[in-house]
Every structure is written in C-alpha cells, then in structure tokens.
Amino acid sequence: MRKRNTMKVSASFLVLLMGFSLVACGNSNPAAQPPVNNTEERSPAPEQQPNESAAIEAEGILTGWADPHTVEIRVNEKPMSFQVSEDLQKSLDDIDDEDSVRFKYVEKTIDATTKQLVLTEIAKMESSDENNGSNAGGTVTSDRPKTSELEVTVEGMTEKRPVTLAQAKGYSLYVFEPMAFDAEDHELTMKIDPDYEIEIEKLPANYNLDALKMDAKEELSETGEVKQLTAEQLSNGPMKDAKLYMMSQNDKKTEYFIVKELDGNGFVFHIQAPIGEPSEGFLPMAYASLNSIMNE
C-alpha cells in the first residue's frame, strides 16, 4: 500500500516537471528571433516643376521698375508685377514710365499658394494703336504744346510745375505728373490713390443750370449736408468763374459738383476727395488741370 502511494507521487512529480519544461521552452531565446523591419525603402520625391499657362495678351500702362528683375504695369487701373529676363530687359529701354504698352506673359504656378507672372513680350503702343489718348502720355492730335508748365498753390506756396497734354473726345487738358488721365472714362485720378477722382462731363450747348442744381443736390446728399458756395466765397479762388459750386462732406471724404464754362463750352466736374495725406495737393492740381481745358 505504501509503495503504490510513492509511485503515484513520483508520477505526479514527473508530469509537473514536464509541464515546467514545456513552458520554459515556449519562452526561450526571445532575442534570437529576427527583428521585424516595417520601414520600406522609398525613392526621393521628384522635384515639382512649375506649371505654366499659355501665353496671355494684355494692354496696360508701364508704371516702372520695382527691382532689377521686376516691372510693374497697370492693367485696368490695377498694378501687376511681372518678372523680366535679362534678354527681355532690352525691350524696355525705349519705353518710358506711363507709356501705353501691349505685352504677353505666362502665369507659372510654383505651388498651391505661389504664382509668378513672367513677361515674355512687350512693346510700346504706337499712336495708331492707342485708345484715343487714354492717358497723359497717349495720342495727342491737338496743336497745343505737348508739355508746358502750370501754376499751382500748395500749402500757401505758389510755383510752376511741369504738365503733359492729354486729349479726350472733344477736348484736351494738361495733367500733372502725380495724376493720370483716362480719356475713355473722362477721369482724372491720383496715381498714388485712384480714390482721389474727378469725372469730367462735357455739357450740351443748351444745358439747364437749374436742372443741374437739382442733380447736384441728389448726388451730394448721399455723402452729407449739401452746401452751395456763393460767388463772393469763390472770388479769390481758382473756381471763381464757376456757374455752380456745390459740396458735401463726412468724416471720410468731401464731394464736389462744379459747373464751369471753359473755352465756350460747359463742363461738370464730379470730384471725390477722400480725407488723407494726398488731399493737400490734390485739389490745387485738379483745379489747375481743369482750368486748362480747351475744346478740340
């Protein structure tokens, strides 16, 4: 009886020992397993080449050089910057600032946020190509001198400044360098800020001053209280001969409606003068230019 118990204990011990051995074998040599490498070898991404549009043709006014490789051109009164190659720079030697130009360019897309305009051709517009004198350097058919000097009083100082003749349909006028004239729209503006604007309206021979006064009140009332200056108030100023001088203002701008006869014809000048730094010289130059109008 005692012998059988000993055999049972021995058998049990043997089974237990084999179990430990199997567990030990299952966990042995973990470092001997080959490492798993999940990193794939990748080729370097090819360098992205800029996408280039087809050539685009446009017309504008040359503003000038922004730097040795960048030129600025106003297109529809909006400044645009173009990159210029060294070979093309020679084409600009005979083109002056404020000249009308016809040109071609391409648009290069560098990345999702960067685009570059590159000039490919440019030429000055000759007289036959220009839009009837659409700027101060445009076509001029008048017999008046192309350049002259006009007196202007700014901040109490009266001096003569150079001007260039510009022509629109039915009249011509002299324009100071800081200003630009659009003959098609009959608009005189400051180059630095086109919100300083004068719209020139040539009146028919039988215009009605009372009707114009009503138009002025309606137009100016949108800006503020409408005031009419008397002949006495105008007597010492550049608009002393005005048939009608009305104005209104608010904290942002002053607006004028002026009727004047020049060279035998009536004109209305719709003037927008924002409150800002250029305002001191704007009106004196504007009045001098407007008083230079002659019928053509």
232-280 pLDDT, tens digit per residue, is 999 988 999 999 999 999 999 999 999 999 998 999 999 999 988 766 7
**Among 123, 101, 110, 108, CA closest to 54:** 108
Contact 61, 135 (CB under 8 A): yes
**Among 173, 190, 211, 182, CA closest to 273:** 190
pLDDT in tens, 126-157: 754 444 333 444 455 678 999 999 999 887 78
pLDDT band at 4 (very low <50, low <70, confident <90, very high): very low
Contact 163, 289 (CB under 8 A): yes
pLDDT in tens, 89-106: 888 888 887 888 999 999
Contact 260, 243 (CB under 8 A): yes
Does the predicted TM-score (pTM) go above 0.75?
Answer: no
Q: What is the DSSP string of 152-207?
A: EEETTEEEEEEEEEEEETTEEEEEETTEEEETTTTEEEESS-TTSEEEEEEPPTT-
Q: Which long-range contacts (CB under 8 A, 24 or more apart) does 143-147 make?
A: 144/172, 144/294
Contact 186, 168 (CB under 8 A): yes
Cα 123 to Cα 234: distance, rounded to the nearest angstrom: 47
Q: Is the dihedral of CA 131, 134, 135, 141 positive or negative?
A: positive
